[in-house]
Amino acid sequence: MTTHLVWLRNDLRINDNTALAAACRDGKATVLALFIATPKQWQQHHMAPKQAAFIYQNLCELQQTLAERGIRLHYHQCDDFTTSVEYLAEFCETHQVDALYYNYQYEINERERDAAAEKRLDAQGVICQGFDDSLLLPPGSVQTGSNTMFKVFTPFSRAFVRRLHQGLPECHHAPQARAEAPLSPGKKIPVFDYPMEEIDASLFPAGEEAALKQLRHFGKQSVQHYPDVRDLPALDGTSRLSPYLAIGVLSPRQCLHRVLKEHPDALNEGKAFTWLNELIWREFYRHLMVAFPALCKHQPFIDWTQNVEWQKNAEHLTAWQQGKTGYPIVDAAMRQLNHLGWMHNRLRMITASFLVKDLLIDWHDGERYFMQQLIDGDLAANNGGWQWAASTGTDAAPYFRIFNPTTQGERFDKQGDFIRQWLPELKTVPDSDIHQPHVWAKKNNKTLDYPEPIVEHKDARKKTLDAFERARSAA
């Protein structure tokens, strides 16, 4: 009897799971699945408690779904990647596994773990097969004319779309039920030995069916309006699919095919392309991470930016983290992040710019804090976004382009609907004054239970420009 093992990581689904589909191709093989939790490794990677809870919820759902198809999901917890390889080898020996199937992860620690696992299992006679699964196109497959990785997004996106026009990546069907299906799910997966926080199930319900339902709804009704409303945080204008993509409850291929089914012109600059281009941004940052592994070690892409003299101001950092900077759009966004574990994309740019360009605090502090909070935490996307905002990365905003937090609020939350949702202490401030509430309070002899701005934007902007100029000159 042949035994195939699927090593699950950030691919918690049965539909369009490349490794699972390959393992199940032989209808006579016994197929097992294994998930290994590594809490100490998660701690080193600053995984958010909400993301840990989301992984757990979806893993429990997957255990049931796999059992219905005759596949037992085994679970183990150990400290880190090194001990996970040791356990994997023991598991393969105990269960007489003939072949291991897994989907690649592209972060440097994960790649080193997988290389060690293949070496160990090869010595045991276990055949290992890895697959590019979490991307539309494999890293290194979209390059410049000189066969190098693109360093600017727009030409990468154009080349990426040309590749898609040549042939779309295929989706894999969920595996058919095995001969022994259905199985009892077995013992319930124990709670991770890791901090976990409650998730708003109305926004992020667990399970593959819930994710697919949200994708179908967005693809049919909302994606065409995305270009017009995506920057307005008071509206429900984004897909909210990022948490599912981050842990692999959905694949990007499913997203692409669903949108193209509803909007066949999406790759020809149709309205739906705006959202598909966000998927391509996700690809861009992951391709970059493979081409330039130093990004996994939190190194800036632009070398001279290492010379920037960041401010060490714990009080300012705490005010930013807690949403008490005195800038309403920044504070409302940070409170949304702290409460939901998620933040609207426009607000991610505004809050990141404020930390780095107004407070002149090291972008690494912001990158780390976001990972500690985000239910959709993803190293490549988070690092790419922070380096863009900090003007330290590839395709970064020029360092002299600095968001004005007040005008950003006026532009994207004009009436202050989003601000009032998260800053109830400003509920009595008129729409016309919501972005500068203390100016209104002073004019009208009012008292607000809301902090004064911790910096003056004009002065902070000059200070930041001077710091970047000195850093560039020093190089």
Active site residues: 278, 281, 310, 345, 363, 386
- How far, rounded to the nearest angstrom, does the alpha carbon of residue 379 sit from its chain's CA centroid? 7
Q: Is the peptide bond before 227 cis (omega within 30 degrees of 0)?
A: no
Give yes or no for a contact between 222 and 241, defined as CB atoms under 8 angstroms apart.
no
Q: Which residues pair with 127 in a beta bridge?
A: 99
Q: How far apart are CA 295 and CA 346, in angstroms?
A: 23
Give yes or no for a contact between 185 and 69, defined as CB atoms under 8 angstroms apart.
no
Q: How far apart are CA 429 and CA 413, in angstroms?
A: 14
Give yes or no for a contact between 376 and 270, defined as CB atoms under 8 angstroms apart.
no
Q: Which amino acid is at 254?
A: Q
- How far, rounded to the nearest angstrom, does the alpha carbon of residue 71 sit from its chain's CA centroid? 29
Give yes or no for a contact between 312 and 365, defined as CB atoms under 8 angstroms apart.
no
Tokens representing residue 132 in the block: 């590019």
Tell me which residue has tokens 């979209």.
142
DSSP string, 16-74: T-HHHHHHTSSTTSEEEEEEEE-HHHHHHTT--HHHHHHHHHHHHHHHHHHHHTT-EEE
Q: How far apart are CA 272 and CA 266, in angstroms?
A: 5
Q: Which residues pair with 100 in a beta bridge?
A: 5, 128
HSE (side-chain half, CA atoms, 13 Å) at 13? 31
Q: How far is CA 307 from CA 300, 364, 470, 473, in A?
A: 11, 14, 8, 9
Tell me which residue has tokens 């001077």.
466
* Polymer length of the chain: 475
Q: CA quadruple 123, 126, 131, 134: dihedral positive or negative?
A: negative
Q: How far apart are CA 272 and CA 354, in angstroms?
A: 30
Beta strands 30-37 and 3-8: pairing type?
parallel
Within 124-152, where are the H helices? Answer: none
Closest-CA residue to 178 (of 14, 316, 7): 14
φ, ψ for residue 144, nearest 5 deg: -70, 175
